Structures are given as C-alpha cells and as structure tokens.
Amino acid sequence: MIEVSGITKEFGRFTAVNGLSFSVAKGEVLGFLGPNGAGKTTTMRILTGFIPATRGMAVVAGHDILSEPLQAKRKIGYLPESPPLYPEMTVADYLDFAARIKGVPRERRKARIDESLERCSITDVRDKLAGKLSKGYRQRVGLAQALVHEPEVLILDEPTAGLDPKQINETRALIRSLGGDHTVVLSTHILPEVVMTCDRVVIINNGSVVAQGTTQSLIDEFRENDRLQVTVEGPEPEVLKSFRSLDGVLAAEPVPSTSRDGSVLTYRLSVAPGRDVRRELAARIVRAGFGLLELHQEGTTLEEVYLRVVSSEEPGEAS
C-alpha cells in the first residue's frame, strides 16, 4: 500500500532525510519512531505530498506522490502534529468543509460527518467553535477530518498529543480498530503506544532507517541476555555467592535502594540467552534457608531496543 524507495530530502546543505526506504502492507499499522530531528515529520510531509522529495520515490495506494499527487492525496487522510483547524468554525461546519474539499459526495456527506464525530468521540462538541475547544478535543477533531472521506491510508503525526489518559486509551483503541480497513502510519514518542497499537515498527535516526520489524522480532534481534529479578531475605554476601555459582547466571548484583529492613534485598541476575534457571534458582534459595519473596523474569523492552539503536548511530551531517 505504501512503498518508499531511496527518499532523500535536502534543504540547502542540510539533509533531513537520507536514502529512506521502507514499505507498509495493506491494512497494517506501522509505528514510525525516531528522536526529535530524525526526519519523521519530513518523511510524512513527503508521503502526503505536502513537500516534494529531492530524490527517490514514494508510492501511496498505487500512485506516485510526485507524478500523480491528486490521485494519491484522495487516498490519504493526514493528521499533522498541529491539527489544521479554523477557530471561528464549529466542529460540524469544519468537518463539512473538509468533506467538501476532499470530494465526499453530497448524498454521503452527512453520514460521513456523523460517523467521524462518533468514532472520534466528539459528538458532544459538534456545535462548538473549534477555537473554544481544549487541546485534546482539537486533536480529536483533527483525527475526524483525516477520517471523513474514508481514506485507504492514514498518516498520523503524534495523534495522542495533548490527550488525557482516558482519551489516549480511546484513541489507541480507535487506531487499532482502523487497521485492516485502513493502512496506518503512526508517529509517536510514546513507546508503549506502539506496542499496543502497531503491527510493525520502523525506527529512523539522522534521516535513515536504523531498525525495522515487528516489536518481538526487534526485541529478539537486539536482546543480549535474559534477566531475572529476585527479592530474597538473607545475608547479602551469601545470597550473591549462591546466585553467582549457579550455572547459566552470568552476573548478579543487588538493585540499588531496594533494602527493606536490612536483610531483604532485590537482586538483578543476568542469564545466558535461552537458559531458564528459575526453577533451579528457587530451589537453591529454599535449600539455603533464605526467604524467597519474589521472582520474575525481565524481558527486553522496545524502549531498550530504541535507545540502543539510536545511541549506536553516530550523528553526522544529517543530525
């Protein structure tokens, strides 16, 4: 549904996007991640035809965004970081205006507006002026205008910015429900949001792709060691000696500031990949007469993968 091949965008001597390539399948929800200045917004503006690429090709819903911009734009719903609202218009009038300029037929217009209002949970403010709305409501009105013409592709730049926790959960559920019927590219700094809503992830830095795949495949690719966290009642030197002598345990250290009464400490154990030492570890703690209070496995998170691939990239001219 989206094919990006070798996209480069230069602003004078500054390269904002450098040879970017990735694809998004029909019905897929793609998380688009990267630090500030990585080129995410520039890439989204290229995909929506807002600005042209210096070099490379982007095809959206079968149309080249450079040579067939009108055909491609009819297939796209775009929510920029700052929703493009007219403060003097009511929400309903604004969505009617958006539906008109996006070519929604007259006989379908009212139904599409009502459905967009309902899906974005803004029916209660349909007659209010956009300029009088909170930031959260303005964000949801912006999402409604992106949906009003039933686009095949949705490109959303920070769609939950400014929302309260309840609105964030509702918006995440909405985005998740849009997958399948729509192809979604979602830019966000909230990594748990990606885990909960996205099928696949593309991470960029300095204008280039540094990692891509499903959340689990990225975790598997960049995981070094498995980790266990265990809370034990017992003398620290003896507990550490017991842990470090266990086959498969690479390292064991107390977690700082976790002492409860002097004899209870939490420890973090680094375990060889593929080894599950939990059963043997628990048995050893009990045999030694220590008190086992808690034992759980710590998995590698998307945040750790993100920080690792971004920090490993040396900043160059594009940074």
- Give percent of the chain with pLDDT exceeding 70: 95
Q: Is domain 2-221 classified as CATH 3.40.50.300? A: yes
Q: How big, in percent rounded to 5, are the helix, strand and coil portions of the chain?
A: 35, 30, 35
Element of type H or E holding 131:
none
The reply to whether 2-221 and 225-298 are identical in fold is no
pLDDT at 142 over 90: yes
Q: Which two tokens stand for residue 162?
A: 């400014």
Give the residue from 101, 88, 180 showing the smallest Cα distance to 145.
101
- Give percent of the chain with pLDDT exceeding 90: 67
SS3 36: coil
pLDDT at 319 over 50: no
Does residue 68 contact residue 118 with C-beta atoms inside 8 Å? Answer: no
Better-predicted residue by pLDDT, 226 or 111:
111
CB burial readout 229-250, b (16+ within 10 A) else e: ebbbbbeeeebbebbeeeeebe
Q: Name the residue ranges covered by the structural domains of the chain.
A: 2-221, 225-298
For residue 138, name the pLDDT band (cuts at 50, 70, 90).
Answer: very high
Give the residue from 185, 221, 219 showing the smallest Cα distance to 4.
185
pLDDT at 145 over 50: yes
List pLDDT tens digits, range 37-48: 899 999 999 999
Better-predicted residue by pLDDT, 168 or 156:
156
What is the average per-residue pLDDT within 18-41?
Answer: 93
Q: What is the CATH number of domain 225-298?
A: 3.30.70.3190
SS3 128: coil
Task: Tokens 């949906």: give the residue.
Answer: 147
Euclidean distance between CA atoms 141 and 154, whole angstroms: 15
For residue 175, name the pLDDT band (cuts at 50, 70, 90).
Answer: confident
- What pLDDT score does 259 carry? 61
- What pLDDT score does 303 carry? 86
pLDDT at 281 over 60: yes
